[in-house]
C-alpha cells in the first residue's frame, strides 16, 4: 500500500471512530497545531495566510525522515490535504455569503408607512398626513383620528362618493360615516358615500381591508369584483387583490353572508373563511392570526410559495419582482415584522439556503 493511501486509511479510521489511542494521537497532534476554531475576521488575506501556513507544514512533513516518523507524516499530510480543502471551502462559503448579503444591503429599501389619499366627488385629491394613522369621515366633515381638522374641507349636505386609497407601501385607517372602522392594506381602495342613505350601507373594495362594522339594523355590504359580503355588525378581513388567484373572506366574530356572482351563497361562522376561485365559492377553517397579521404589523407565511411571498413584499415595499430561473416549489413558513427593511426580510428567507435575492434599484431579483 502506498504511503499516501496508508495515511488516508488512518485518517478515515480516525473519522469513523475506529482508531486506537496511538493512531488518534498521531492525527490530533497535527489538528492541535492547526486549529480552525480561532475567532478572527474572515477575509482574503486571512485565508491566504492560513493556506500559506498549511503549505509550510505540509513541506516540513514531506521532508520528515526516519521510519518512526513515517506513519505520523503520512497521516498528517493526509489530514493537511483534507483540512486545507475544508478551510478553502469555509472561506469560499463565507465570502459567498458576504457577497450575497452585500447584494441585499447595497440598495436597501425601507418598510411601508402610513400613506393614503382621499378623492372627493369633485375630483379633488387630498394627500393624507403620513404622521397620522387614520381619518374620520362623517356628517361633521373630515378630521384625523386625533381630532385635527383636515383643512377647511366641508362635505355637501347630500351624499357624495369618496374614495380612500393607499399606494404600494402604504396603509391607513378610515372611519366611515356610520362609525365602521376600516384598515386598508397597501395598494388598496374603498369607495363609500359620505352619508349612508337607503336600505343598506354599501361600499366597494379593491385590494385588502379589515373591517370592524358598527352594529345597525341596516346591513353593511362590501362589494368586490366577484362577490358581496353582507353583515350587520362584525369583524372580518377581505383579501381581493387582482393579482391573487382567489378572494378570501375571513370571519373573526359575528356572522357573515358571502355571495358570489351569479347566485352562490355561504354563511360563515367565526374562525371560518370563504374562498372564491372563479365562480366557485367554498368554506374552509381559517387561520385568523395569519389573515390579519398584516394589520398587526407582521408578515406570516405558512407553506407559502415564493411567488405568493413575493407578491406581498412587492406591495409593501413598492418593488418590482424579477425571476431569474424557475422559483420551483419551495414553501416557506415564519413570522417577520413588517417594520423591518426589505434586506432584513430577504436575508431571513435567504438564510434557508434555498433561494437568493439581489436588490437593484426598486427591483428584487429572485434567483
Contact of 250 with 220, CB cutoff 8 Å: no
Contact of 317 with 111, CB cutoff 8 Å: yes
- In 3D space, the residue among 262, 267, 265 whose CA is nearest the CA of residue 251 turns out to be 267
Residue 37 has a pLDDT of 38
Compute the average pLDDT of residues 27-51: 50
Spell out the SS3 assignment of the chain.
Answer: CCHHHHHHHHHHHHHHCCCCHHHHHHHHHHHHHCCCCCCCCCCHHHHHHHHHHHHHHHHHHHCCCCHHHHHHHHHHHHHHHHHHHHHHHHHHHHHHHHHHHHHHHCCCCCCCEECCEEECCCCCEEECCCCCCEEEEECCEEEECCCCECCCCCCCCCCCEEEEECCCCEEEEEECCCCCEEEECCCCEEEEECCCCCCCEEEEEEEEEEEECCCCCCCEEEECCCEEEEECCCEEEEEECCCCCCEEEEEEECCEEEEECCCEEEEECCCEEEEEECCEEEEEECCHHHHCCCCCCEEEEEEEEHHHHHHHHHHHHCCEEEECCCCCCCEEEEEEECCCCHHHHHHHHHCCCCCCEEEECCEEEEC
CA distance 249 to 227: 10
Compute the average pLDDT of residues 218-240: 94
Boundaries of every domain in the chain: 3-105, 113-291, 298-366
Contact of 260 with 227, CB cutoff 8 Å: yes
Q: Which residue has the cell 395598494?
A: 187
Contacts of 13 (CB under 8 A, 6+ apart): 19, 23
57-115 pLDDT tens trace: 555 555 554 444 444 455 555 555 555 555 555 445 445 556 556 667 888 899 999 99
CATH of domain 298-366: 3.55.50.30
Strand pairing of 170-175 and 357-360? unpaired
136-147 pLDDT tens trace: 998 888 999 998
Q: Is the peptide bond before 262 cis (omega within 30 degrees of 0)?
A: yes
pLDDT for 14 beyond 70: no
Residue 15 has a pLDDT of 61
What 152-158 contacts at long range (C-beta under 8 Å, 24+ apart), as own/partner pairs, is 153/120, 153/126, 155/120, 155/194, 156/121, 156/194, 158/195
Instruction: Output the CA torsion 256→262→263→267 (10° steps).
Output: -20
322-363 pLDDT tens trace: 999 888 788 888 889 999 999 999 988 888 888 889 899 899
pLDDT for 19 beyond 80: no
Chain centroid to Cα 268, Å, comes to 29
| % of the chain surpassing 90 pLDDT | 51
CA distance 306 to 328: 8
Q: Which residue has the cell 359580503?
A: 229
41-65 pLDDT tens trace: 455 555 556 556 655 655 555 555 4
Per mean pLDDT, which range of 62-66, 121-125, 247-251, 332-336 is the poorest?
Answer: 62-66
Residue scoring higher pLDDT (45 or 214) = 214
CA distance 68 to 298: 66
Residue 40 has a pLDDT of 45
CA distance 119 to 129: 14
Q: Residue 357: beta bridge partners?
A: 366
Contact of 73 with 62, CB cutoff 8 Å: yes
> Is domain 113-291 annotated with CATH 2.60.120.1440?
yes
Residue scoring higher pLDDT (42 or 178) = 178
Compute the average pLDDT of residues 205-225: 95
Residue 226 has a pLDDT of 86
Compute the average pLDDT of residues 119-128: 92
Amino acid at each position: 500500500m502506498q504511503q499516501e493511501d496508508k495515511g488516508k486509511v488512518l485518517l478515515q479510521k480516525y473519522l469513523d471512530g475506529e482508531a486506537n489511542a496511538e493512531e488518534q494521537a498521531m492525527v490530533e497532534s497535527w489538528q492541535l497545531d492547526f486549529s480552525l476554531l480561532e475567532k478572527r475576521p474572515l477575509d482574503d488575506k486571512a485565508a491566504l495566510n492560513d493556506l500559506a501556513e498549511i503549505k509550510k507544514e505540509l513541506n516540513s512533513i514531506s521532508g520528515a525522515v526516519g521510519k518512526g516518523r513515517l506513519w505520523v507524516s503520512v497521516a498528517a499530510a493526509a489530514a493537511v490535504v483534507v483540512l486545507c480543502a475544508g478551510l478553502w471551502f469555509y472561506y469560499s462559503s463565507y465570502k459567498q455569503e458576504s457577497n450575497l448579503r452585500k447584494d441585499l444591503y447595497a440598495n436597501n429599501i425601507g418598510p411601508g408607512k402610513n400613506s393614503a389619499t382621499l378623492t372627493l366627488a369633485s375630483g379633488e385629491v387630498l394627500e393624507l398626513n403620513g404622521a397620522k394613522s387614520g381619518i374620520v369621515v362623517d356628517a361633521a366633515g373630515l378630521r384625523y383620528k386625533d381630532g385635527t381638522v383636515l383643512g377647511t374641507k366641508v362635505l355637501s349636505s347630500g351624499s357624495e362618493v369618496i374614495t380612500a386609497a393607499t399606494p404600494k407601501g402604504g396603509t391607513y385607517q378610515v372611519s366611515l360615516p356610520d362609525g365602521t372602522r376600516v384598515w386598508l392594506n397597501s395598494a388598496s381602495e374603498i369607495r363609500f358615500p359620505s352619508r349612508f342613505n337607503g336600505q343598506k350601507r354599501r361600499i366597494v373594495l379593491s385590494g385588502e381591508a379589515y373591517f370592524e362594522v358598527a352594529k345597525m339594523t341596516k346591513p353593511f355590504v362590501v362589494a368586490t369584483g366577484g362577490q358581496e359580503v353582507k353583515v350587520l355588525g362584525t369583524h372580518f378581513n377581505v383579501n381581493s387583490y387582482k393579482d391573487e388567484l382567489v378572494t378570501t373572506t375571513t370571519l373573526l366574530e359575528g356572522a357573515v353572508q358571502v355571495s358570489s356572482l351569479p347566485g352562490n351563497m355561504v354563511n360563515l361562522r367565526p374562525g371560518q373563511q370563504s374562498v372564491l376561485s372563479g365562480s366557485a365559492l367554498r368554506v374552509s377553517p381559517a387561520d385568523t392570526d395569519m389573515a390579519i397579521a398584516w394589520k398587526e404589523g407582521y408578515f406570516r407565511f405558512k407553506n407559502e410559495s415564493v411567488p405568493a411571498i413575493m407578491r406581498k413584499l412587492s406591495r409593501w415595499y413598492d418593488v418590482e419582482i424579477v425571476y431569474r430561473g424557475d422559483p420551483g416549489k419551495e414553501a416557506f413558513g415564519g413570522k417577520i415584522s413588517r417594520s423591518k427593511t426589505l434586506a432584513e426580510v430577504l436575508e431571513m428567507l435567504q438564510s434557508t439556503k434555498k433561494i437568493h435575492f439581489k436588490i437593484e434599484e426598486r427591483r428584487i431579483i429572485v434567483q
